Amino acid sequence: MKTFYALVACAALTTMSAKAQSLGGVFGPVVDEGAAALEYRVGFTPETARFGQRIHYQQSFSDDLMGRGVIQVRETDNSHVEFDYLGGELFWQLSEDGRPWQTGLRFDTRLRNDERPHDIAVNWMNQWTLAERWRGRAVILSSVQFGDNAGDGVGLQTRGQIDYALPSGALSSGTSIGLELFSAYGTTAEFRDFDEQSHEIGPYAMLPLDGQFSLFTGVLFGLTDGAPDSNVKLWITRAF
């Protein structure tokens, strides 16, 4: 296990010397009352050799509402690390617990500096229990820019995920693997041609570590000219 932790640390340090375009996930609608977590994310885009990092803290307020505060940094053209955005997110679970289809909304805001536009977003989250160990997720994301240099129209994205929970004893209990699909279509004011859109697909793994820590690692591969060739991401979460 110590060797595994050493490999994780080396991967994180290596990734921190490059850039991540994709630090987002396929987030689900289920809110657990009393749950809280601190998470660090780092990502790397080999094509541009740049990185992004973010840290967030989330806390549920009830059995159907959860808040999250986010701060993200990025690497600039001259390889300096600078502030990217400060964000707030509110998860609202609309469905009752225990149902095979769970749904909810997430409301986001992102604030930037240096005359870069801010964002507000409304996202529709869905999660299905497909079989005993299989789960599916789908998210529709819509966002609007405001402030300096804001663009026109509503930004449109979708994300999907198929997750398989490994049987106990396959690795450690709670390990899952799966496949993700990320798509960005442009805006309602400028909807892009398919090849100019960003479509990415790739595998991931979620592994519990000692105690209340867990590790997520995955890679996305570009399917269109509008997407980077690949994106690598690593998240470490501490649950409370």
Residue 149 is given by DSSP the state: T
What pLDDT is stored for residue 130 in this prediction? 96
Other C-beta atoms within 10 Å of 217: how many?
A: 17
Please answer whether residues 223 and 194 qualify as being in contact, where contact means their C-beta atoms are separated by less than 8 angstroms: no
What pLDDT is stored for residue 183 in this prediction? 98
Determine the Cα–Cα distance for residues 138 and 101; give it in Å rounded to an integer: 11
Structure tokens at 191: 């909807």
Total domains in the chain come to 1
**Mean pLDDT value across residues 96-113:** 97
User: Could you tell me which of 92, 89, 93, 84 has the C-alpha nearest to residue 69?
Assistant: 89
Residue 211 sits in a domain of what CATH number?
A: 2.40.160.40
Domain ranges, residue 173: 2-239
Determine the Cα–Cα distance for residues 58 and 67; give it in Å rounded to an integer: 6
Q: Which residues contact 2 (CB under 8 A, 6 or more apart)?
A: none
pLDDT confidence bin for 77, thresholds 50/70/90: confident
What pLDDT is stored for residue 147 in this prediction? 95
Render 14-62 in DSSP notation, one character per residue: HHTTS--S-----------TT-EEEEEEEEEETTTTEEEEEEEEEEESS
Integer angstrom CA distances of residue 116 from 37, 71, 147, 148, 150: 29, 16, 8, 6, 8
pLDDT in tens, 9-34: 333 333 333 333 579 999 999 999 99
Residue 67 is given by DSSP the state: E
Percent of the chain with pLDDT over 90: 81
Q: What are phi and psi of 22, to 5 degrees?
A: -115, 105
Q: Cα 105 to chain center, whole Å? A: 15
